[in-house]
Amino acid sequence: MSKPILGLIILLPAIGAAQSGWTRTHGTGYSRFSFSTLGSSSFYTPFGNKISSARYRDFTGSLYSEYGITDDWTASVNFPFLRNHRLDSTSSLTAVGDAVVGIRRRLVRGKTPLALAVDFGLPVGDSQGTVSIRDLPDGTFRLPTGDGEFNTRVSLYTSRAFREGKSVVSGGGGYNFRTRGFTDEFSYTASYGQRLSRSVSISATLTGLEPARAANASRAVGFGVGEGVAFLGIGGEAQYRINKRHSVSAAYYKPLRGKNLLAGGVLVFGFGIAF
């Protein structure tokens, strides 16, 4: 799972679909193409204060899919197949991002299901991506699209529906086992969803990330490596079901606070297909 300074970009698009206590019914699935964009001229420093910085822009196209292997097992994959990003002081870089492959096991059935999710971060992104600095002839800057590490996140999620399923509350937390010297992380999320009509639903999400320990000083040497990142963010999403299978969505997420994190919000547009 890649979540460096740009963490919200990668982390958020799958929130609504995956971070719940439910598992998908055997033989069914869901896929969503999403396109996110981020622009930020400020930055949360490793100390947490927000400062102005060069303007950063990112455009990412992702494919998220999940499939019910059984009623209790759901497999998922999230693949940022295209990332293009740059600082206004640098050239741009286009590459794929790190992919995540996961499995979720329903542990408790009922109105308040509990699921255990194990997600594997695959470092398929460009962890050595470098751009040139325009005003500095020999200057280069690392602007990776992946952190170059395998990591494993173990999470527990629970959910509960109310009012005949018109309202949904989900929450959960996880622990991310990182490698290559990166510091493990805790993550948490809570969301509330409300179906406004048969076709429209909205949701709000509160999510956060904290390192399990103090950041590794030897790794905390710059941007893009996701070491020492912490944040608390909120977001909202609106979804419109075109028919039983297809839907579109729009979401916006923004960190309320953070460390070593871009302060800008992420706007995500998605197109979902249920099967």
Among 36, 76, 158, 260, binds another protein (CB under 8 A): 260
**225 interacts with another protein by CB under 8 A:** yes
Helix residue ranges per DSSP H, 207-249? none
198 token code pair: 């048969």
> By C-alpha distance, which of 2, 55, 64, 15 is closest to 168?
15
**181 interacts with another protein by CB under 8 A:** no
User: Could you give the CA distance from residue 101 to residue 92 in angstroms, rounded to a whole number?
Assistant: 28
* Min separation Cβ 229 and another protein, Å: 12
Q: Which helix (H) or strand (E) holds 8?
A: helix 7-11
Farthest CA pair distance, the chain: 63
**51 interacts with another protein by CB under 8 A:** yes
Among 43, 64, 79, 182, binds another protein (CB under 8 A): 43
Determine contact, residues 57/86, Cβ cutoff 8 Å: yes
**135 interacts with another protein by CB under 8 A:** yes
- The nearer residue to another protein, 32 or 259, going by C-beta atoms, is 259
User: Applying CB under 8 A, what is the total number of residues that bind another protein?
Assistant: 32
- The nearer residue to another protein, 13 or 144, going by C-beta atoms, is 144
User: Could you give the CA distance from residue 41 to residue 34 in angstroms, rounded to a whole number?
Assistant: 23
Which residue(s) pair with 249 in the sheet?
Answer: 239, 270
Task: List, in order, residues 6 or more apart from 119 with CB less than 8 Å away.
Answer: 1, 76, 100, 101, 102, 152, 153, 155
**46 interacts with another protein by CB under 8 A:** yes
End-to-end alpha carbon distance in the chain: 26
**164 interacts with another protein by CB under 8 A:** no
Among 224, 233, 255, 258, binds another protein (CB under 8 A): 224
- State the binding string over 76-115 for another protein (x if CB under 8 A, else -): -----------x-xx-------------------------
- The nearer residue to another protein, 142 or 160, going by C-beta atoms, is 142
**133 interacts with another protein by CB under 8 A:** yes
Written as one letter, the residue type at 251 is A
Sites of contact with another protein (CB under 8 A): 43, 45-49, 51-54, 87, 89-90, 130-131, 133, 135-136, 138-142, 217, 220-225, 259-260
